[in-house]
Amino acid sequence: MKHMTLFAGLVAASFGSMAFAAGSDSTEPPKPTETTLKCPEGYVYNPETKLCVVPKATNFTDDQIFDNARELAYDGQYTTALELLDMAKNPNDPRILNYKGFANRKAGNIDEGMSYYQAALAINPDYILARSYMGQALIAEGRMDEARAQLDEIESRGGRDTWAYAALDKALHGQISNW
């Protein structure tokens, strides 16, 4: 599935000039890289060899695993993203847990996804992106009050002007998205 560019454009159009959180675990959808632009499904781009490779834990650092898995998950390659996340040397990294939740939820495994969001939040209760994704899972289950509670938590933790807040707020108002 090579729809990252279209997806990024739709997100930009949806949120206009809203400020986004930055950093290694940005709440913006990932920009497409060689992994989703050039590599066949099931492969990731290795910048050192400049080749698409079958991912192995020895090929990548946890940061590279996270970045590639996040991109693959947004591209709809949930199985490959989960396989990659399982290779992380630190499986208790909240970022790794959150994207295991995201990929599982998007693959239709909402209960399993919820368990990963809860694990990420047990480690870092201020992880607003996990709260946003959890809220979206709660909406999918019809648990609107609990989803609103996650939106309130995001705001109370300083996340009012973030993509995480905006995405959950839009979902609560019936504007369901790909994330």
The CATH number given to whatever domain includes residue 42 is 1.25.40.10
83 occurs within a structural domain: yes
52 occurs within a structural domain: yes
Angle between helices 4-15 and 163-172 (to 10 degrees): 80
Question: Could you tell me the pTM of the whole model?
Answer: 0.80
Question: Does 179 score more than 70 pLDDT?
Answer: no
In whole angstroms, how far apart are CA 46 and each of 35, 49, 58, 69, 102?
A: 8, 6, 11, 13, 23
Boundaries of domain holding 56: 24-172
79 occurs within a structural domain: yes
pLDDT at 158: 96
**Residue range 26-32: mean pLDDT, rounded:** 68
Distance, in Å, from the CA atom of 47 to the CA atom of 52, rounded to the nearest integer, reads 9
Residues 122-149: pLDDT tens digits?
Answer: 999 999 999 999 999 999 999 999 999 9
**Residue range 34-63: mean pLDDT, rounded:** 87
Bigger pLDDT: 129 vs 26: 129
One-letter identity of residue 105: R
Q: How many structural domains does the chain have?
A: 1
87 occurs within a structural domain: yes
4 occurs within a structural domain: no
